[in-house]
Structure formats: structure tokens, C-alpha cells
Amino acid sequence: MIVVILSYVYIFMICLFAGVLAREGLSKFIPVPKTEKIGITGIITTGLVVLTVYAECFSIFYKVGVLCHAVMLAVLALGVYKCRRQVSDLLIKVRKKFFSKEGVVCLIIVLISAFYASRGVFHKDTGIYHAQAIRIIEEYGVIKGLGNFQLHFAYNSSYLALCALFTLSFILPFALHTMTGFIMALFTCYAACGLMKWTSRVGHTADMARLAIIIYGITVLEYLQSPATDYGAMYMVLYIMCAWIAQAVEKKDDADDIPVYGYLAVLSIFTVSMKLSAAALVVLAVVPFVLLIKKKMTKETVAFIVIGFLSFLPYLVRNVIISGWLLYPVEAIDFFNVIWKVPAEYMKFDADQIKVWGRELQNSMPVEEGIKVGISSWLPIWWEKKRFYEKLLVMFQIVGAGAAVLNLIIRTFRKKIRADVAIFYITVFINIAMWFFTAPFIRYGLAFLMLLPLCASMDLAENLFKGKAFLRFAMVAIAVVCFGNWTLHYLKVDKQRFVDRVKDAYYVTPIPFEDSETDEINMNGVIVYNTRHEDVDPNSYYYCPCSYYSDMVNRSTLIGTTLREGFKPKSH
């Protein structure tokens, strides 16, 4: 736990430095948000994005290890020296905040986060491919056709490259897995500190988005030790949407619209590289694009587009190298015909399997049949498999949708329709629709499922009742009605996990990545590994490269006589 907290401090400082330098550099090309507008959280988030893109780019050419880290530290040291005044001013603000009421709250959140991030049971997907994918990035960077060796490795995520950058396995006797815990602490502190100022605001729609971040933190607390791509992506979605609606409803004038919305639009494009299921988040980019065009800021428009594209480009390059597809598992976009390309039939089966599992049909029929089942058939099965608190969550989407429609009618009648508020709800609706009709796992769309009922209901209360006291009561009432059962369930889970794990001996160092028995496989004279008891034991972090499924190993082979040359399907 102590090591986890120290890693939080280290990640915080590195991201702070990277964020400051990035803002200084970008300010020469685009209008950047004022520090007081995005706060320390915005600067740290900027640093996270920059470092993620850096790790992705480095992995394309070499492994993400000691050299990658040394280059990063050298560049940051030089940059901090040149921007020492800006860094010093920001550190003074951090120190002041630390010795305040907000600092006490943040300290409590950090301690809770560190406790859960240091122990517990890893998420199942971490045991299948997250941990092994991180190890491969550490040892090799990116390997051609790795998706043939195990299809899950083709689920490329920039988040795993970020995690690999901070495992520090090249210097420590163990690999850290603290990034999810850090992100939880960062954005939960952001939300909690924002809520502490709620009495100074008349409107509380953005406060409901802040509350959604806290509820999400309670929901995922037991899996903070896992470098799971879902959690990192959902936290980014919640932060972007919360910062967006806060700018829309809490601003005093429109002067900061282009810098703030432009900044959030770039973040939305980057977030797609963390999880492809967040693709519709880029709808937010419409607003800053229109604002820039209206003001005839052509150079800035081009600069924003280029920066957004560059933040996403390494992800696309890694996709092609790993799977031979630009966007795996999207069959419709087929530009490349490389020897290491994952066969279309394997990819289609993989994509269909995700949908079938999301619709809860995996135990009732084969994938080939399940993908053909219409919504009238799979929806009752899907609904039946949901727990009570999950059903409440789904039902409240109807309440949220109704509230959003009423808000639209009221604003139309009063002639107070705002494009930035409208695009917030449009983005939420589009993402919920995509989630429902593709792979409706609750965890895939949880951020949007939380935002719609909370924000729309509060928005409606503000439109109907202008009394400040009533709005405070409404905020609590809406949260209790919508998420009381959900939050209570996960608080009980978190309490039980605390009781179960409080005696675990991880108060200094964190629990190590999981290990398991593996079989050595000679592939063209090169030793690779396969989990011996698949579907029972996890995929080991310690043997590399290691596949979780023997059938995937058997249908792949090396292109040449070294791992660097990559894998290809045996049919090629």
C-alpha cells in the first residue's frame, strides 16, 4: 500500500510536468484553456494523454522499458527547467490545496484507492490478456500479427501502453499495476472537490455528473488493482462529459468556449484509442469545430484537427501492426493485405461473440446462431439475466430520456436552446444506442447510463423550479431514487472486500500479477507459452509471450525464425 501511494505521487508529478510542457507547446498553435478553468486535474489529464501517446509511439519501434523511461525523464527534466516558473506556480497551488479541507478529502480518497489497488482479486479479463499484453509491450513493444497468437491481443488499447510505462518492472523486483487506482483517485478527487463548492452554485446539473464519477468509483473499487481498459476509458468519458456540462451551465460568459471545448474534443478523440466502444464520444467535436468556423479561425481549426488526429494515429498504427486491420474488429474498414493479417472469419467470429455475450445468449446457443437472433428474442433473455439494481438502472434511462425531451420542449418554448447543452445529451443518447445495439454489457456503457437520468432529471428540476433550496433537495432526491439501490449494493460489496482483505499482507508492496502453470511450445525454433489449464487459471504475466487459448496458438505460426518477425495464421 505504501508503494502504491508512492507510485501515485510519482505518476502525479510526471503527469504534472508533462501537462505543463504540453500546454506551453500547444499554446503556440491553438488557444488553450486557462489553468483556473481546467484546474490541476485538467493539467494532469493532459499529461496522461501526452505520456500515453509517447508510450504508444515508442512501442512501435522498441520496447517500453528502461530506455523509454530514461528518455521521458530526460525530456521532462529539460522542459521543467525551461518552464520552471510555471511549474513552480502550479506546485504552490498544489501545496495550498493539500493543506485545505479539499486536501483532507483528497487524502482520504487516495488512502481508500491505495488500499484497494494494493490487494484483491484481479478482473477476469486482466487474467486473460491485460497483464500479458502489458508484459509484451514491456518486453517487445509491438509484435506483428500478435492477434493471431491470441485474438484478445488485437483489442489494442492505448491504456495498456500507459500502464506498461509505469509498471517500473525494469527497476523494481515486481511490476506495479497502480494506474487504475491513480485514475480513480484523480477523478474522484476532482468530483469531490467540485461538489464541496455546490452551495455557491444556483444550478446543479454538472454536480450530478460529478456525483456520477463518485458512484462509478464506488462501483469499481474492488477491481482497482486491475489495469482493465474499461475502467480507464469510463473514467475519461465521465471526466470529459462532466467538464463539458460544467462549462456549458456554470460559465459566466462564452470567452472560454473554444479553448475548453476544443481541449475536451481532443480528449474525446484520444479516449476512443482507450476503448473503441467510446467511439461516438467524438460527436462532441462538432461544437468547437462550428465555433472555430464561425470565427474564421482557419489556422486554429486545422491545428485542432491535426492535434486530435496525432493523438489517435499511434493507436491506428499499432492496430495495423498487431492485427493487420485499421480498427479491429471492424470488418467494414479493410485497407491492408499483409501476411500477418488476422483472417476475416476469425475476426468476424470474435466480433459476433462479443455481441452474443453482451446479449446474454452465450449459454443458450452457438455464436453462429446467437448473432442472427432478433431483438424481440434476445431482449427478454438479456433482461431476465439482469440483477434488480441493474434493471433499475436500465429503467431509469426511460426516465432520463423523458426528462431530456421535456427539457427540450421547455427550452424551445423559452427560446433558450444552447448548442453545447444539446450536444451533451445528443452524445449521451448516441452512445447509449450504440452500446445497446452492439454489446450491451452494463460495464461497457455505464458512464452514459449514469449520466442520462442524473443530469436530465436535475436539468428538468432546474427548468421547472428556480428555488435554490429546492434544487439542493432535488439533487439528493434524484440521486437516491436513481442510484440508491445501485450504490447501496456496491457499498456492501466494498465493505465485504475490506473485511476480506484487511488482514492481507500488502501494506508495503502491492499484490503481484497472477501466475499460473504454462506449457512451452516450440514454434519455428522459438519458445512461446500457453496456459496449461485455460478457463481455470489466469494467463501468466511472467512467461512471455503467453497465450491463454491453445486453439489460437495451434492455428498460428511465426512468420520467420524470430519473435520480432511476428505471427501469421497457418493458412497463409
Q: Are residues 214 and 354 in the same domain?
A: no
Q: Looking at the domain assignment, is residue 392 inside a domain?
A: no
* Pairwise CA distance, residues 418 & 153, whole Å: 42
321/558 Cα distance (integer angstroms): 14
Co-location of 368 and 221 in the same domain: no
Domain that holds residue 361: 344-378
CA distances from 311 to 154, 304, 331 (A): 19, 11, 23
Please report how many Cα atoms fall inside a 13 Å half-sphere around the Cα of residue 209, on the Cβ side: 31
Strand pairing of 526-531 and 546-547? Answer: parallel
Same domain, 75 and 221: yes
Q: Please tell me whether residues 277 and 356 are part of one structural domain.
A: no
Q: How high is the pLDDT of residue 468?
A: 63
Q: What pLDDT is recorded for position 469?
A: 67
Q: For the chain, how big is the Rg over CA atoms in Å?
A: 24
Q: Give CA 251 to chain center in angstroms.
A: 27
Question: Are residues 144 and 270 both part of a single domain?
Answer: yes
Mark whether 264 and 352 lie in a shared domain: no
Q: Is position 506 within any domain?
A: no
Q: Say if residue 329 is preceded by a cis peptide, omega within 30 of 0.
A: yes
- How far is residue 516's CA from residue 534's CA, in Å, rounded to a whole number? 10
Angle at 527 (CA atoms; ends 176, 70), nearest 5 degrees: 35
C-alpha 432/C-alpha 446 separation (Å) is: 9
What the block records as the C-alpha cell of 546 is 503467453
> Quick check: helix, strand or coil at residue 567?
strand
Note whether 250 and 302 are same-domain residues.
Answer: yes
What residues contact residue 76 under an 8 Å CB cut-off, 6+ apart?
Answer: 14, 17, 18, 21
Q: b/e for 293-303, b at 16 or more Cβ within 10 A?
A: eeeebeebbeb
Q: Do 350 and 215 share a domain, yes or no?
A: no
C-alpha cell at 160: 495498456
Please name the amino acid found at residue 128.
I
Instruction: Please give the Cα distance from 127 to 539 (Å, whole number).
Output: 5
Q: Of the candidates 234, 211, 237, 277, which has an alpha carbon nearest to the alpha carbon of residue 453?
A: 211
Can you give the pLDDT at residue 455?
94
In this structure, is residue 468 part of a structural domain? no
Tens digit of pLDDT at every position of the chain (572 positions): 999 999 999 999 999 999 999 999 999 999 999 888 899 999 999 999 999 999 999 999 999 999 999 999 999 999 999 999 999 999 999 999 888 999 999 999 999 999 999 998 899 999 999 999 999 999 999 999 999 999 999 999 999 999 999 999 999 999 999 999 999 999 999 999 999 988 778 778 999 999 999 999 999 999 999 999 999 999 999 999 999 999 999 887 777 899 999 999 999 999 999 999 899 999 999 999 999 999 999 999 999 999 999 999 999 999 999 999 999 998 888 889 999 999 999 999 999 999 999 999 988 788 888 899 999 999 999 999 999 999 999 999 999 999 999 999 988 888 888 899 999 999 999 999 999 999 899 999 999 999 999 999 999 888 887 766 677 778 788 888 889 999 999 999 999 999 999 999 999 999 999 999 999 999 988 999 999 998 889 999 999 999 999 999 999 999 998 998 999 998 75
Q: Are 365 and 224 found together in one domain?
A: no
Within a domain: 92: yes
Q: What phi and psi, each to the nearest 5 degrees, are found at residue 264?
A: -70, -30
85, part of any domain: yes
- Say if residue 299 is in the same domain as residue 348: no
What is the distance between the alpha carbons of residues 572 and 570, in angstroms, rounded to a whole number?
5
- Bridge partner list, 529: 520, 546
pLDDT of amino acid 473: 78
Length of the chain: 572
In terms of C-beta density within 10 A (0-12 exposed, 13-18 middle, 19 or more buried), how is residue 176 classed? buried
Contact 335, 326 (CB under 8 A): yes
DSSP characters over 112-129? HHHHHHTSSPPPHHIIII
Q: Is residue 444 a part of any domain in this protein?
A: no
Residue 242 lies in a domain: yes
Q: What is the residue type of 6?
A: L
Residue (of 496, 414, 403) closest to 453 by Cα position: 403
265 and 233, same structural domain? Answer: yes
Q: Given this model, what pLDDT does residue 572 score?
A: 57
> Minimal CA–CA distance to 262: which of 234, 291, 296, 232?
291
Q: How do 518-523 and 567-569 pair as beta strands?
A: unpaired
Domain count across the chain: 3
Give me the pLDDT at residue 461, please.
87
Domain shared by 70 and 193, yes or no: yes
Residue 299 lies in a domain: yes
